[in-house]
Structure formats: structure tokens, C-alpha cells
């Protein structure tokens, strides 16, 4: 589910040069565990496998498990709050009441935007504070409690979800929805949010897409997966694609809509035959299937 239906193997790291699922890394593995791999050339932990608090984690020394999967790192009185990360002072940073000043990505729109770009659009003074500087500041906040490699790799994992969402859902989804609207506008009674697909597309980016991205930024694997990438894949395949096909059928005999229907059909065909979605036509590359089966077998060997 997470490696094929939800994802596209677009996260590349030294341990996975052929690509691995960002949905699995940020979702499944964070609860169930992964094999923590060490890059033999650098001695550094691979960012697809660390940080990881999964109960079945395989550690570099061969031991199994993660205590923090069941035992929280913090006592309640010391638990961080929203203000701890987004507002509070650190040895290097002053207190701020601009809660977005340590955030690199604005994940509210259809497409994730660098935060200073949206600040500029809104005419905010903080537009002069670039997104990469904001990320550097947030890293300082994180490193007040966490080790530097943990922090750096956590952001790599998070950005893997941003890329997955953008490439597999946001770009093709927006393109197909816009083509569908052009078809539906051949009916003079069409109004935005009058058709099921209007709600489906809105929820794909505004609900599931935002939850996946935001949850990954907060290292919340349950929401990243079950309220994020899983719901994205489910609603994409069980609602969005069937609704596009229904629109094509409904307007295919409308003489005014011929060109628009053809454009939508071509767009849909191209998307479904792309590497991100061709599994749904049973056209997945056999080599990709074999590699996935090999990794699964290797992981299962540890638990005989």
C-alpha cells in the first residue's frame, strides 16, 4: 500500500540509490521500525532509516527494537509545546511572536510554497526573511534537544513527503481537475462546487494533502499515513479518477465539448500510464516489483 499505491519511490538516499517510498519512511517505518543503515563511506546514518522510533527497528549493532516506541522520551512536565519550537528563545535565538518565522514551507496551498514567497504575496514584512534562513533557525531549535544528524535527517524525511505529494498528486491532479472544469463548463448550469469532483479535488489537496505534509513536519506517522498518504491514494483512486471518467462519458456526445473531452481523456491516459500511476493498470515495471520483494524478504529474515 505505502510503497506502490501511495508513493512513487522518489526518495533517494545513499542506502536507497534506486529510490524508496517517502510514505513508508514517514509513515509505516516510524511505527513498525526499519533497519537503520550506516553509510560505510561516511559513517553517517542513512536519512531514510534515521530518525526512526519503530518498535521493530533493527539497530546498527544488530539489536532489535526502540524503547521510545512505548516509553516516551519526555515526562509530561517537560513535554514541548507549539511555543517551544515556534516562539521560544534558544541560546542562539530570541523569543518571537511570528510563529511562521521558523517555517520553511507553507503547506496550505495546493502546491507547497516557500514561506517568504507567500509572505511577499500577502505584503508582510517577514517576506525579507528567506525560507532557508527560517529552516536554519528551526534546526537550531531542534538541536537544543536533539543530535544534529537526527535533526538534519528528519528534515530530509519531511521533504520526501512534500516531493511525493507534489509529483504524484498535486501537479497531475490540478491539471486533470482544470481540464475537467473546462469540460463541465460546456453545460451552462455548471457552478463551482456543484459537482462531486469539485469537493473531491478540494479535499485531496486541502485535507489529505495538507495533513500528510504537516504531519510529516511534526513527525506524526499515524497522521502522515492514515490521515494523509493513505487517504490521498484512496480518494484519488476510488473517487477522483472514477469521477473524471464519468465526466468524459457524460460529455462525450456533446458537440460543443469534443475538444475539451479529448484533452481530458489524453491527460487522464498520460497520468495513468506514468510511472507514478501505471501500477493501477497492472503495468508496473517488473524490476521495481522484484526489488521491493527482495527488500521485504531481507527485512523478514531478521525476525525468523
Look at residue 301 in the predicted model and tell me its pLDDT: 82
Say if residue 127 is in the same domain as residue 160.
no
Say if residue 235 is in the same domain as residue 102.
no
Mean pLDDT of 129-151: 95
- Asked, for residue 57, whether it belongs to a domain, the answer is no
Mean pLDDT of 197-225: 97
Per the structure, the count of domains in the chain is 2
Say if residue 227 is in the same domain as residue 90.
no
Higher model confidence: residue 161 or residue 299?
161
Look at residue 76 in the predicted model and tell me its pLDDT: 58
Label each residue of 182-220 as H, E or C. HHHCCCCCCCCCCCHHHHHHHHHHHHHHHHHHHHHHCCC
Q: Which three cell numbers stand for residue 247?
A: 465526466
Mean pLDDT of 190-200: 96
Among 111, 144, 177, identify where a domain stops: 144
Q: What are phi and psi of 282, to 5 degrees?
A: 60, 40
Say if residue 195 is in the same domain as residue 263.
yes
Say if residue 185 is in the same domain as residue 293.
yes
Q: What are phi and psi of 18, to 5 degrees?
A: -85, -5
Q: Which of 202, 184, 165 is nearest to 10 (CA)?
A: 165
Check pLDDT > 70 for residue 299: yes
Among 123, 144, 165, identify where a domain stops: 144
Say if residue 191 is in the same domain as residue 134.
no
Mean pLDDT of 25-43: 93
- Asked, for residue 118, whether it belongs to a domain, the answer is yes
Say if residue 139 is in the same domain as residue 153.
no
Check pLDDT > 90 for residue 126: yes
DSSP 111: S
Say if residue 139 is in the same domain as residue 267.
no
Say if residue 176 is in the same domain as residue 119.
no
Distance CA 145, CA 269 (A): 49
Report pLDDT digits (tens) over 141-190: 999 989 999 999 999 999 999 999 999 999 999 999 999 999 999 999 99
- How big is the CA angle at 152 (ends 78 and 229), to the nearest 5 degrees? 85
- Asked, for residue 203, whether it belongs to a domain, the answer is yes
Q: Which three cell numbers stand for residue 180?
A: 475537467
- Asked, for residue 261, whether it belongs to a domain, the answer is yes
Report pLDDT digits (tens) over 62-102: 898 888 777 776 665 687 889 999 999 999 899 999 999 99
Report pLDDT digits (tens) over 241-292: 999 999 999 999 999 999 999 999 999 999 999 999 999 999 999 988 898 8
- Asked, for residue 23, whether it belongs to a domain, the answer is no
- Asked, for residue 21, whether it belongs to a domain, the answer is no
The mean of the pLDDT values for the chain is 94
- Asked, for residue 28, whether it belongs to a domain, the answer is no
Say if residue 114 is in the same domain as residue 231.
no
Give percent of the chain above pLDDT 90.
83
Say if residue 176 is in the same domain as residue 265.
yes
Report field, pTM of the whole predicted structure over 0.85:
yes
Say if residue 155 is in the same domain as residue 263.
yes
- Asked, for residue 24, whether it belongs to a domain, the answer is no
Among 112, 128, 144, identify where a domain stops: 144
Look at residue 29 in the predicted model and tell me its pLDDT: 94
Look at residue 69 in the predicted model and tell me its pLDDT: 77
Look at residue 78 in the predicted model and tell me its pLDDT: 83
- How big is the CA angle at 302 (ends 300 and 304), to the nearest 5 degrees? 75
Look at residue 296 in the predicted model and tell me its pLDDT: 84
Domain housing 266: 149-301
Amino acid at each position: 500500500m505505502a510503497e506502490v499505491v501511495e508513493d512513487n519511490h522518489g526518495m533517494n538516499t545513499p542506502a536507497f540509490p534506486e529510490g524508496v517510498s517517502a510514505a513508508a519512511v514517514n509513515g509505516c517505518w516510524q511505527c513498525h521500525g526499519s533497519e537503520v543503515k550506516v553509510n560505510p563511506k561516511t559513517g553517517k546514518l542513512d536519512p531514510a532509516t534515521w530518525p526512526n522510533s519503530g518498535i521493530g527497528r533493527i539497530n546498527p549493532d544488530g539489536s532489535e527494537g526502540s524503547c521510545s516506541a512505548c516509553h516516551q522520551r519526555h515526562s509530561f512536565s517537560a513535554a514541548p509545546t507549539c511555543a517551544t519550537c515556534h516562539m521560544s528563545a534558544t541560546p542562539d535565538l530570541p523569543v518571537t511572536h511570528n510563529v511562521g518565522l521558523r517555517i520553511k514551507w507553507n503547506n496550505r496551498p495546493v502546491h507547497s510554497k516557500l514561506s517568504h514567497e507567500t509572505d511577499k504575496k500577502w505584503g508582510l514584512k517577514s517576506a525579507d526573511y528567506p525560507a532557508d534562513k527560517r529552516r536554519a533557525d528551526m534546526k537550531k531549535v531542534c538541536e537544543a534537544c536533539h543530535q544534529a544528524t537526527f535533526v538534519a535527517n528528519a528534515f530530509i524525511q519531511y521533504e520526501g513527503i512534500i516531493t511525493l505529494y507534489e509529483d504524484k498528486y498535486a501537479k497531475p491532479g490540478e491539471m486533470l481537475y482544470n481540464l475537467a472544469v473546462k469540460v463541465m463548463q460546456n453545460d451552462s448550469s455548471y457552478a463551482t462546487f456543484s459537482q462531486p469532483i469539485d469537493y473531491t479535488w478540494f479535499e485531496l489537496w486541502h485535507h489529505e494533502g495538507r495533513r500528510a505534509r504537516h504531519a510529516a513536519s511534526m513527525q506524526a506517522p499515524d497522521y502522515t499515513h492514515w490521515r494523509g498518504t493513505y487517504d490521498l491514494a484512496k480518494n484519488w483512486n476510488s473517487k477522483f479518477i472514477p469521477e473524471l471518467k464519468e465526466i468524459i462519458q457524460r460529455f462525450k456526445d456533446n458537440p460543443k465539448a469534443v475538444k475539451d473531452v479529448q484533452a481530458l481523456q489524453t491527460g487522464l491516459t498520460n497520468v495513468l500510464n506514468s510511472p507514478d500511476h501505471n501500477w493501477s493498470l497492472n503495468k508496473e515495471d517488473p524490476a521495481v516489483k522484484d526489488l521491493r520483494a527482495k527488500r521485504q524478504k531481507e527485512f523478514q529474515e531478521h525476525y525468523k
